[in-house]
A and B are shown apart, each in its own frame.
Chain A
Amino acid sequence: MNASTGNALQDALKKHQLNFMPLIQTMGMLPVLLILCILFQLVTGYAETADFSHAWQSGRFLSWQNLSIIAQQASINTVLGAGMTFVILTGGIDLSVGSILAASAMVAVSISLVPGASFLAFPAALAGGLVLGLCNGGLIAFLRLPPFIVTLGSMTAVRGLARLLGNDTTVFNPDLPFAFIGNGSIFNIPWLVVIAFATVVISWAVLRRTVLGLHIYAVGGSPDAARLSGIRVPLVLLFVYGVSGLLSGLGGAMSAARLYAANGLQLGQSYELDAIAAVILGGTSFVGGVGSIWGTLIGALIISVLTNGLVLTGVSDIWQFIIKGFVIIGAVALDRYRLRGSART
Chain B
Amino acid sequence: MSEIELRSAGPILEMRNISKTFGKLRALRNVQFSVAQGEIHALMGENGAGKSTLMKILAGAIRPDAGSEISIGGTLVAMTGPMAAKALGVAVIYQELSLSPNLSVAENIYLGRELRGKGLAAGWLDRAAMIEGSADVLRRLGASFTADAKVCDLTLAERQLVEIARAVHSNSKILIMDEPTTTLSERETERLFTIIRALRDEGLAIVYISHRMEEIYELSDRVTVLRDGTYVGTLETHAISPSAIVQMMVGRDISTFYKKNHDAHNLRGKPILSVKGMSDARRVKGCSLELHENEVLGIAGLVGAGRTELARLIYGADKASAGSVAVDGVVKRIATPLDAIRAGILYLTEDRKELGLFLDMSICNNINVGVASRDARMGGLLNFRRSRERSAQAIKDLNIKVSSPKGLVGALSGGNQQKVLLSRLLELNPRVLILDEPTRGVDIGAKSEIYRLIDNLAQRGIGVIVISSELPELIGICDRVLVMREGCIAGELGGPSNAAINQNNIAAILTAASECDVPEHRHTHYSNLESRAS
Contacts and interface: CB of A to CB of B under 8 A. Distances in A.
B358 A222 contact: yes
Interface size class, chain B? 35 or more
B337 interface: yes
B370 A343 contact: no
A209 B370 contact: no
A218 B337 contact: no
B317 A227 contact: yes
Interface string B373-402: 100100011100000000000000000000
Nearest to A210: B380
Contacts, number: 96
A interface secondary structure, majority: helix
Given A217-B358, A228-B337, A230-B341, A345 B410 contact: yes
Contacts of A221: 358-361
A206 B355 CA distance: 25
A229 B373 contact: no
Contacts of B380: 210-212
B365 A7 contact: no
Interface string A282-323: 000000011000000000000000000000000000000000
B424 interface: yes
A222 B354 contact: yes
Contact of A289 (B354, B358, B373): B358
B356 A214 contact: no
B359 A343 contact: yes
Interface size class, chain A? 20 to 34
Interface in A225-249: 225-232
B66 interface: yes
A200 B357 CA distance: 29
B327 interface: no
Contacts of A225: 349, 354-358
Nearest to B365: A214
A3 B365 CA distance: 41
A214 B315 CA distance: 23
A222 B355 contact: yes
B370 A230 contact: yes
Interface string A164-196: 000000000000000000000000000000000
Contact of B66 (A7, A218, A229, A230): A7
Contacts of B424: 229
A4 B354 CA distance: 36
B80 to A, nearest CB: 14
A16 interface: no
A217 B368 CA distance: 13
B382 A342 contact: no
A112 B356 CA distance: 51
A229 B408 contact: no
Given A218-B369, A290-B360, A344 B382 contact: no
A56 B170 CA distance: 68
Nearest to A224: B355
B347 interface: yes
Contacts of B376: 210-211
Given A214-B369, A222-B354, A230-B370, A342 B360 contact: yes
Contacts of B408: 342-343
Given A229-B337, A230-B337, A344 B354 contact: no
B316 to A, nearest CB: 10
Given A209-B381, A211-B380, A229 B360 contact: no
B77 interface: no
B338 interface: yes
B339 to A, nearest CB: 9
A233 to B, nearest CB: 10
A211 B359 contact: no
Contacts of A209: 381-382
B411 interface: yes
Given A3-B66, A344-B410, A228 B356 contact: yes
Contact of A344 (B355, B360, B373): B360
B207 interface: no
A211 B372 CA distance: 6
Interface in B322-349: 336-338, 341, 347, 349
Contacts of B349: 225, 228
Interface in A246-274: none
Contacts of B337: 227-230
Contacts of A342: 360, 408, 410
A331 to B, nearest CB: 19
Contacts of B382: 209-211, 213-214
Contacts of A226: 358
B399 to A, nearest CB: 21
A332 B380 CA distance: 34
Nearest to A290: B360
A239 to B, nearest CB: 12
B61 to A, nearest CB: 15
A221 B67 CA distance: 39
Contacts of A218: 358, 361, 369
A214 B347 CA distance: 21
A213 B337 CA distance: 20
A221 B376 CA distance: 21
B273 to A, nearest CB: 18
A225 B424 CA distance: 12
Contacts of B372: 211, 214-215
Nearest to A208: B382
Contacts of A1: 66
Contacts of A212: 380
Interface in A80-105: none
A218 B365 CA distance: 9
A342 B360 CA distance: 8
B402 to A, nearest CB: 13
Contact of B355 (A228, A231, A290, A343): A228
A233 B381 CA distance: 19
A344 B317 contact: no
A338 to B, nearest CB: 11
Contact of B359 (A7, A224, A344): A344
B66 A4 contact: yes
B360 A289 contact: yes
Contacts of A214: 365, 368-369, 372, 382
A206 to B, nearest CB: 9
B354 A224 contact: yes
Contacts of A229: 337, 369-370, 424
Nearest to A343: B410
Contacts of B357: 222, 225
25 contacts: A210-B376, A210-B381, A214-B368, A214-B369, A215-B369, A215-B372, A217-B358, A217-B360, A218-B358, A218-B361, A218-B369, A221-B358, A221-B359, A222-B359, A225-B349, A225-B354, A225-B355, A227-B336, A227-B337, A232-B338, A290-B360, A342-B408, A343-B408, A344-B359, A344-B360
Given A209-B381, A214-B368, A217-B358, 14 more contacts: A3-B66, A3-B67, A7-B65, A7-B66, A211-B372, A211-B376, A212-B380, A214-B369, A215-B372, A218-B361, A221-B359, A221-B361, A227-B317, A229-B337
Interface of B: 65-67, 315, 317, 336-338, 341, 347, 349, 354-361, 365, 368-370, 372-373, 376, 380-382, 408-411, 424, 428
A-B complex: 9 closest residue pairs judged by Cβ atoms: A343-B410, A221-B358, A3-B66, A343-B411, A343-B408, A230-B341, A230-B338, A211-B372, A289-B360
